[in-house]
Amino acid sequence: MKRREAREQAFVLVFERSFKEETLDSIIEEAVEGRNLEIDSFARGLASCVYEHIIQLDAVIEQYSHKWNVNRLSRVVLSILRLAVCEILYFEEIPASVSINEAVELAKKYADEEAGSYVNGFLGGFVRDQEQASAPAKE
């Protein structure tokens, strides 16, 4: 399975959690039984990371969602941002530009062009701040 497809699987798992407070294993079990899916290991790892760090991820999203409370974001956009921010923070081997591009594509597919622009701007600002924070101080 390609990474893009695995991200899409992870998105669906994270999106489903926005409707019900179940464990990842429960949601995967339902997906496997109900839709006859085979869950990719990358998708499982990414979704698991989101589940494990959801409080921290939502705090980041709240911080960078200028004038928008996390509760006002659509479940689709929130799920995509959770995935992308998680990937950027915890999957260092994946370039941030790839995470951003994949998130924008998910937004275009599952939301609309406007959501794609919002996700792109949000993640671009987040990554710039991350890069500035980790840059060595100039003397």
Per-residue pLDDT tens, the chain, 139 aa: give them. Answer: 899 999 999 999 999 888 888 888 888 888 888 777 788 999 999 999 999 999 999 999 999 887 667 778 899 999 999 999 999 999 999 999 999 999 999 999 999 888 999 999 999 999 999 888 877 766 5
Query: How many helices (DSSP H) and strands (DSSP E) are in the chain?
Result: 7, 0
Burial 67-94 (b: 16+ CB within 10 A, else e): eeebeebeebbbbbbbbbbbbbbbbeee
Amino acid at 14: V
The C-alpha angle 2, 47, 114, rounded to 5 degrees, equals 75
